């Protein structure tokens, strides 16, 4: 606690001494939030909040067959997997948090989902990284396999092992409670209002972290004593969007840029880890375990990318 307070005080002093760098870093973080994160993630957050709302799931459970009701947990896990690997982080963490808060999945299942399906989005990898920065969209298929296949296989195998052996903390099937009837239109608007407010609350927290890490990245960028390639890698470890931009700007071959970027993309950056920790604050899931898995997958992705590079050569 004392160490954290000291770091905050030092950060405030540095910000006061270098107001121009602080302002530019805040602008960079705000631009990433407003032009990339807000339009790409907010709609999916609102949609997922609507789909996972109890006012939606309870009538659906009442309408479907008992056979399907018993498998509702499995369907929710499949939805978490699909959304996590399709929409990109932190959608996977947000849906995991919703399912845990509603007691649909166990903590073990939630930890597996958090460790494996909170990944960088395919649109970011294919659009921003491969197309805009490297100008090699033809590497899309192999890059997706390198980044996503190890995590997807590990997640599916771990979940199958747990689902076959029910744990002591296995939650009961989602209960169907009859509520007093409310006007349908009013109820629909209430669901939408809550989904939008929750989505904006989450996206605003993510923006705050982006601004803080944008300032930190700007200070690191100004450290001329660090080699350019190491400086770019440090920025990527902190915040992935700024880091990929810096790596792409290096005066090195494209293959080298690819090899440097792949483990960074797999790790996702400390900024996204802090965003994930904030989202999971209402749960007891372990963020250190999440970070350990991210580091392991970064190493696996780096090895696979090196193999791909040697095959090309």
Stretch 276-302: mean pLDDT: 91
The total of other beta-carbon atoms located within 10 Å of residue 120's CB is: 23
Averaged pLDDT for residues 192-199: 83
The pLDDT value given to residue 129: 92
- CA nearest to 270, candidates 238, 293, 232, 234: 238
Among candidate residues 148, 142, 92, the one with its CA nearest the CA of residue 117: 92
**Global pTM?**
0.82
* pLDDT (tens digit per residue) in 123-170: 889 888 999 899 989 989 999 999 999 888 888 888 887 766 555 455
Summarised one tens digit per residue, pLDDT across range 63-85 is 555 555 556 778 888 888 888 88
CA of residue 222 relative to chain centroid, distance? 28
Closest to 89 in 3D by CA, of 239, 249, 245: 239
For residue 6, name the pLDDT band (cuts at 50, 70, 90): low
pLDDT band for 57, please (50, 70, 90 cuts).
Answer: low
Tokens of 44: 């999916």
Cα–Cα dist 140/138, whole Å: 5
Residues 6 or more apart whose Cβ sits within 8 Å of residue 216: 25, 238, 239
The band of 88, judged by pLDDT with boundaries at 50, 70 and 90, is confident
Q: How confident is the model at residue 175 (pLDDT cuts 50, 70, 90)?
A: very low
């Amino acid at each position: 606690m004392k160490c954290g307070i000291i770091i905050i005080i030092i950060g405030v002093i540095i910000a006061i001494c270098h107001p121009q760098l602080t302002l530019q870093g805040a602008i960079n973080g705000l631009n990433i939030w407003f032009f990339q994160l807000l339009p790409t993630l907010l709609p999916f957050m609102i949609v997922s909040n609507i789909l996972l709302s109890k006012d939606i799931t309870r009538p659906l459970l009442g309408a479907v067959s008992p056979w399907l009701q018993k498998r509702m947990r499995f369907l929710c896990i499949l939805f978490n997997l699909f959304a996590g690997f399709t929409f990109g982080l932190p959608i996977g963490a947000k849906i995991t948090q919703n399912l845990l808060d509603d007691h649909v999945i166990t903590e073990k299942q939630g930890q597996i989902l958090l460790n494996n399906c909170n990944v960088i989005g395919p649109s970011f990898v294919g659009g921003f990284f491969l197309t805009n920065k490297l100008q090699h969209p033809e590497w899309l298929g192999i890059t997706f396999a390198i980044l996503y296949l190890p995590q997807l296989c590990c997640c599916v195998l771990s979940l199958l092992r747990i689902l076959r052996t029910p744990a002591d903390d296995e939650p009961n099937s989602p209960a169907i409670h009859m509520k007093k009837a409310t006007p349908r239109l009013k109820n629909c608007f209430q669901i939408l209002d809550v989904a939008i407010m929750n989505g904006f609350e989450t996206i605003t927290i993510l923006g705050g972290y982006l601004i803080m890490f944008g300032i930190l990245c700007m200070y690191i960028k100004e450290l001329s004593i660090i080699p350019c390639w190491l400086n770019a890698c440090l920025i990527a470890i902190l915040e992935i969007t700024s880091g990929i931009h810096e790596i792409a700007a290096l005066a090195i071959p494209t293959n080298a840029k690819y090899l440097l970027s792949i483990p960074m993309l797999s790790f996702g950056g400390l900024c996204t880890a802090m965003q994930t920790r904030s989202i999971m604050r209402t749960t007891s899931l372990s963020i250190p375990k999440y970070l350990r898995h991210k580091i392991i997958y970064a190493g696996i992705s780096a090895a696979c990318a090196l193999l791909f590079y040697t095959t090309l050569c």
